Amino acid sequence: MNKFAPLAAALLAAAFASNAAAADLVLISGDAGTGTGLEDPTAKAPEGQNPGTTLGEQRTIAYQFAMDLWGSVLQSDATIYVGASFQPLTCTPTSAVLGSAGTTFIFSDFAPGVVPETWYSSALADSIAGEDLNPGYIDINSRFNGDIGVNPNCLTGADWYYGLDGKTPEGKINFLNVVMHEIGHGLGFQGFTNSAGDFLAGQQDIYSTFAYDNVLGKTFPALTPAERANALRSSTVLVWSGPQVKKEAPLVLDYRNALKVALPWQAAGNYEAGLAAFGPKPTLLNMLGILVAAQDGAGLSSTDACEPLTNGATVRKKFALVDRGNCPYVTKVANVQAAGGLGVVVANTGLGSPAMGGADDTIRIPAISVSQADGAKLRANLPSIITYGQDYRHLQGADNSGRVRLYAPNPYESGSTFSHYDVSHLPNALMEPAITDTLRGDVNLDLTPALFRDIGWTVNPGNATIGDCVTNVDVVDTGGLITGANVQAWNKLCEASSAGKPQYLKCMDNYRKRATADKILVGSQGAKVLACAAKAAK
Amino acid sequence: MNLKHQPLWLLAGIAVCITAQASPQQTQAAPAPTAVESSDGAMKVAIDPKTGKLRAPTDDEARALSQAAQPAANARALRRAEPLGAGKRGFVAPATSGEAAAAQRKLPSGGTMQQVPESFMTNVAIQRDAQGRMVLQHVDGETLPQAAKEGDNE
């Protein structure tokens, strides 16, 4: 490998010459020869440690960085070809399609030992087979909106952030996180059961074999299409049954948010709670008090708090139990607040405790949701003494048996349902449908590597290497931390972007300093990484 | 859904969906024209900024909609052809599951392979919410997200 070649050539060389144990993910540009997208020559100042000096270069570097991260995490003797391009996707001044991705081909019965009559995504099938099963074709296709930050009428005022440091400025969209997420789909975080519960081409896929209905106690292949369709509409019911995800979930997920009832004894215990996007976060102290029923005496229901309360004297300085439905959550909470209530418990109209959307900066009291069944039990035992806290017997985002929930809202959401973890996960997961600001896809893939293990990927078990030098940093740690993958990706980038050995070593030293300051590298790891870099540069 | 705050583009999409599903009788029974069909066959609608009600777009609004739609339409057309300079194929997906299944092939090992239809591509979109924050979510095809989903709010 020519470590110190010019940037563009070196990026390509680096892509083909990674650690033998790691997977090679190779960028196949759909923009090649067009002078646009990944080749856009518009000058652009380097940002967030992305050394590219044109728009096209920064896009290519960020994309390659994401592929290097995934390539370090996974093992494959077959090269994985990832198609990428920037195109003017649908856009308005306030909204935009950012991009899309997925596997291009699926394979079944392609190698000994695979689950029979079961589809596997192209990259996974190639890795299991140890060869390119479909030479001449890309394994993953992806495209991103090239109008963002370029066309003033497209998401006006916003832009992609091509930085690699995780420090996304306000108003920008972290491109690296989006690419990590989308490539994740292409690598196999993708089920092929449609909204009616039918399998693609009448045959199960490996992802769907781990989808599990925890009420009927069956995996998807054992369910009828109608039963699968039902499970696809309830995140409480639809969970992942793979053993690796279940094993690692306690290392990743927080304890479950819970409404805690102390008295009366008939209702005492923990109740799974959903959180609101508005108002203060519930705490032990701001949710401590007496729960009573709210009455509004009008509208479609007298218990939904959609109108001003008629029992304000009862609710004042207490917490109000209200029923879901008929008006926005914020309206219910505003009505309780206006009556002097301290907080709100919303009883769902079905299974589970939904996350409550909405926005209202005037809301000053906390609100949580509980399931319909729990709401009925609470209502039958009012008044009660409540508070809020963690249920240490259960995990947030998992069912009572520790199986992690998949995203299955009702109504069904094409493009989101099934092929994501549920939004109830805390901390937020890379493969949730809503990509959040708190994600650091460059250092933490949470439960995604575990799911990949379940479907048949081999995850790199060793330490990060620089040249022949083995560091003391795990490439992938249990629980999805990918510190070693981060080291290897930065090493490749420093190699590719440096004009000589001194510049390479300076680049790696700067990386060590940043990673140590961000607590990505801890203890002696930084020194060992730098020692390996020095050895490799000799 | 508060239509007053919907992007013009989204409303055009909604109008197309409604029109596609409505019977001719239903269309004729509409009390007042709220949409017009343009020369490209797309049904377009606008929100009156004063009343917040749906109405047929003015000429300027219709022109703006057409201009907004054109780049995406061009990109979709481009996606029906493999990029010449890529050196590999597979960028073009079958439009339907039936089309994909029809092109199923046997592997030399005895296994089976087929291409995945376009509908299984996962699409991620972004929208500014009422507070100006940017919210990312997945969407169906290239349909832009609604400002707020019903399930989020009630």
Joined tokens for residue A118: 């079961």
C-alpha to C-alpha distance for A270 and B152, rounded to whole angstroms: 24
Q: Where are the domains of chain B?
A: 1-78, 86-141
Find how far residue A123's CA is from the centre of its chain: 20
- State the pairing for strand pair A80-87/A140-145: parallel
pLDDT digits (tens, 9 = 90+) for A233-277: 988 899 999 999 999 999 999 999 999 999 999 999 999 999 888
- Quote the tokens at residue A368: 């949580």
Q: Return the residue of A nearest to B1 by Cα.
A: A328
> Directed axis angle between helix A483-497 and helix A501-517, to 10°?
150
A102 in Cβ contact with A185 (< 8 Å):
yes
Largest interatomic CA distance in chain B: 67
Q: How many CB atoms lie within 10 A of CB A221?
A: 17
Q: How many residues does chain A have?
A: 538
What is the distance between the alpha carbons of residues B38 and B27, in angstroms, rounded to a whole number?
16
* Furthest C-alpha separation in chain A: 81
What single-letter amino acid sits at A187?
A: L
* Residues A142-153, mean pLDDT to the nearest whole number: 90
Nearest to A333 by CA among B132, B146, B153, B151: B153
Q: What is the pLDDT of residues A446-480, one digit of tens each?
A: 999 999 999 999 999 999 999 999 999 999 998 99
Euclidean distance between the first and the last CA atom of chain A, given in angstroms as a whole number: 14
Q: What is the ipTM of this complex?
A: 0.82
| Domain extent listing, chain A | 7-190+446-459, 255-395, 463-537
Residue type, A154: C
* pLDDT single digits (tens) A372-413: 999 999 999 999 999 999 999 999 999 999 999 999 988 888
How far apart are alpha carbons A25 and A70 in whole angstroms? 8
- Per-residue confidence at A4, pLDDT binned at 50, 70, 90? very low
Q: Check if the beta carbon of residue A288 is closer than 8 Å to that of residue A262.
A: no
Note which residues in 81-110 of chain B have CB less than 8 A from chain A. Answer: 83-91, 93, 97, 100-101, 104, 107, 109-110
Tell me, yes or no, if B146 comes closer than 8 A to chain A by beta carbon. no
| Cis preceding linkage at A250, omega within 30 | no
Q: What number of other Cβ atoms are within 10 A of residue A4's Cβ?
A: 16
Share of chain A above pLDDT 90, in %: 78
| pLDDT, tens only, B63-115 | 555 555 555 566 566 556 788 788 899 999 998 888 998 889 999 889 999 99
Instruction: Provide the number of CB pairs (under 8 Å) joining chain A to chain B.
Output: 222
User: In A293-412, which residue ranges form alpha helices assigned H by DSSP?
Assistant: 312-315, 329-338, 372-379
Distance of CA A246 to the CA centre of its chain: 17
A 10 A CB-CB count for A387 gives 18
B-chain CB neighbours of A109 within 8 Å are 107, 109-112
Instruction: Map residue A316 onto helix, strand or coil.
Output: coil
- Is residue B3 over pLDDT 60? no
DSSP class of A255: E
Q: Which residues contact A239 (CB under 8 A, 6 or more apart)?
A: A211, A212, A214, A398, A399, A403, A404, A405, A406
User: What end-to-end distance do the CA atoms of chain B give, in Å?
Assistant: 11
Task: Determine if residue A250 is left, alpha or beta; phi over 0 gives left, psi from -120 to 50 gives alpha, anything else beta.
Answer: alpha
Answer yes or no: do B126 and A155 touch at CB < 8 A: yes
Lowest-confidence region among A141-155, A523-537, B18-32, B107-121: B18-32
Chain-chain contact of B153 with A328 (C-beta, under 8 angstroms): yes
Which residue has 């074999």 as its token pair? A209
Residue A140 pLDDT grade (very low, low, confident, very high; cuts 50, 70, 90): very high
Cis peptide before B108 (omega within 30 of 0): no
Q: Please say whether the structural domain A255-395 has been given the CATH code 3.10.560.10.
A: no
B88 to A420: CB separation less than 8 angstroms, yes or no: no
A1: pLDDT strictly greater than 80: no
Q: Are B115 and B94 in contact (CB under 8 A)?
A: yes
Burial of A390 (0-12, 13-18, 19+ CB in 10 A): middle
Q: CA Rg, chain B, in Å?
A: 20
The reply to whether B73 touches chain A by the CB within 8 Å rule is: no
Within the 368-407 window of chain A, which residues sit less than 8 Å (CB to CB) from chain B? none
Q: For the whole model, what pTM was predicted?
A: 0.82
